A and B are shown apart, each in its own frame.
Chain A
């Protein structure tokens, strides 16, 4: 895994410093508060990545460098504020009872619908390249939440995660299934391979997930995001699988989506009825953060879908 190209003054400083092998990041810290857009998002993505697999050219001990953590916090604070500014908690609803209807009542553009009927092969390949940033570490950010939970919520989350990780069989591990699908489709299954292509919206989807996972304080948001993510996957995965068959994509990639039709029909129930329900029994004060996480999941996906449909000159298709 290699460091990406900079996208502005902050990433110029940060990536230069990481490459140079020095451990003085004051100039990076000075540049952080004024960074915006893709520059800020890419910097945060790089800093989060130090907690996943890291970069070959960056010393491993920098994962916990206090100055870099400080930079991360400045960027996360800004991201969290922007996400919370977009969110209004629904009134009079119970998360466990009402979240499915709340999601079904949400009207947003649907990339799966476009892939199902109208997308061409190049558009779908582009989508895979951009989605690979998350799909190649699918479920990983949520794994960080496990030790922050009480007994029931912890066991419930592991029941879901166990399936995400192939129930012990590496061949069935979900991000490996996507990697196999990419390889069979002629793409490179490495999570830095297409980093230079991803727009702001994809960086922010990934950054929000990592931030929710890395902060114990945000465990409610992480699990709300999980519930919304799983609850918007089954039927769209069916549309994706049928669209890929229409376009003659290899069986490995069709299988990745076919697996998610049935897996996520289970996971959406587990996420809401066992994981979030147990969390609320143990920590009822986290209900608003469950909604915040769920809203953020839908909101960030809407923004990504709008960007792609506009790029392809497609009129918005509402799910």
Chain B
């Protein structure tokens, strides 16, 4: 456009070249930092919650009180009182809450086929918390057959630890299921005998489980007659790595499988790093905006006489604004697009690398990242527009 070509000779934007490039570079780096922070945040969330990365086992946590030296020998201190149970169950991160009922009787198991005899213990949880679906998982008073669920870890311990060391053959899960060890329960005075039947193997709850109905019956019959408060509870949570859960457990001195919640430590670290990176990006963005504004002020005040004359001759101030913004906008628009392309390339690369390790993140940048790019560009535009308008008004 002819008019703008002449304007270019009148309004020398060259006076603040170094400032201008500082502002552009600052803006570019600031945008990279902010976009990377947002993208990492998005990716981490996807790793934790995305359906492709779902770790089924992590949803259930067995929680007990941490046993300290003071508590030793005082089992009443390790139980969950009804108030504590109610409070725990009411927490927003707890989707389901169940008490683990401990047996109040002794258990002895004999597997004659193996020449194997051991003391044992039983616990029971509400059926909904069990990951073993089996028709055999029921017991009614009078039944001789007692279904038992053992943790899969026990099978491994038996096969790879105990059996090898004692010259006992290793067993497959199917063959273990066919065993019918004798189960003797007693309270010292009375005793009852049952045929045990391994109904399944649980990944979820590391204890030896019997049906709740059997536990209730046996506790009433062989126990001390008083219902005991649970010392372990099982909860279902949406996100075992949530910070709220971690804080709640710490506050109440509860303990759980740290393997399952170790993510919250990593997550805490990642969130801190991401926040710090985002914070520096924000600070840098502010400085870039400041330098931009200084550049505009410098350019306008260095040719305020010319601008005044242009307006005197009939140039609309709006047109001067548009011209000045037109000199700036394309450059930082390109800066923004380059920042987004760099982040997209990094994301694509990271997605490939993570996929090799069985972790899945989207190969393209998240919505938040794109929205942030547009948001930052809009912010820069508005700040520049306001500065240009103010400066031109001040000099005409």
Partners in one complex: no
